Each structure stands twice: as C-alpha cells, then as structure tokens.
Amino acid sequence: MTKREFKITQASRGAALAVKIIPKANTTEIAGIEPDGTVRIRLTAPPVDDQDNQELVQFLASLFNISQQDIEIVAGIESRNKLISLLNIGAGDVERIINQTVTGG
C-alpha cells in the first residue's frame, strides 16, 4: 500500500484535519487516506439525528486519547466532508497515530 500524505494543520492549541465519513459501515475505523489528503473514516452510526457526528467525536477522542470536549466539527456538520479541530494534541502526534492506524503498525 502506498503511503499517502494527509491534510493536517498545526494550530496554536492543537491541530485540524479534513475527514470524509462513511456512515452505516460494518465497523468504526480509519479506512484510509483520500488522494487529496482527506482522512476517510467509516462509522457504524447512520447520518440521522447527529448520530454520525457523535460517533465521530467519540471515535476520535478514543483514538487520540483526548477529551470529547477537545474535539469540534468546525465545518461540514451536515456533510460527509468535515473539518475537525483537535485541541491539546499536536499535529505530529495526530500524524503519527493516523499513520500507525492506517498501516497497522
């Protein structure tokens, strides 16, 4: 598998990344990196009554070991394409965790 670069931005209090969700999947997981650098995430929740956004925040909090309050969906709340703000974690840590998860290492 070719390693793709993904979009991540270092901010003063954390990091931001672009994600594309795939709702109603069999499992919740990082599914890969899109050609444009967007992180593709499968969610078991349907895109109904904010269930997908809630599951996304829970998943990211667990993945990055940060509080759910440190995660904000900045753009795309009603879209599959979202911009996520992660507080209290650096871009380098986010990149390392995503790369380990995608490559299984």
pLDDT in tens, 15-51: 989 999 999 999 999 999 998 889 999 999 999 999 9
Task: Name the pLDDT band for 12 (thresholds 50, 70, 90).
Answer: low
Quick check: 7 pLDDT over 90? no
User: Domain ranges in the chain?
Assistant: 8-103
Side-chain-side CA neighbours of 2 within 13 Å: the count stands at 6
- Average pLDDT estimate for 71-86: 95
Contact criterion met (CB below 8 Å) for 8 and 85 = no
Q: How many CB atoms lie within 10 A of CB 83?
A: 18
Q: What pTM was computed for the model?
A: 0.88
Share of the chain above pLDDT 70, in %: 87
* Cβ–Cβ < 8 Å for 55, 28: yes
The pLDDT value given to residue 13 = 75
Q: Return the CATH fold of 8-103.
A: Conserved Hypothetical Protein Mth637; Chain: A; (3.30.1200)
Distance CA 76, CA 52 (A): 12
- Collapse the DSSP code of 24 into the 3-class scheme (helix H, G, I; strand E, B; otherwise coil) and give the result: coil
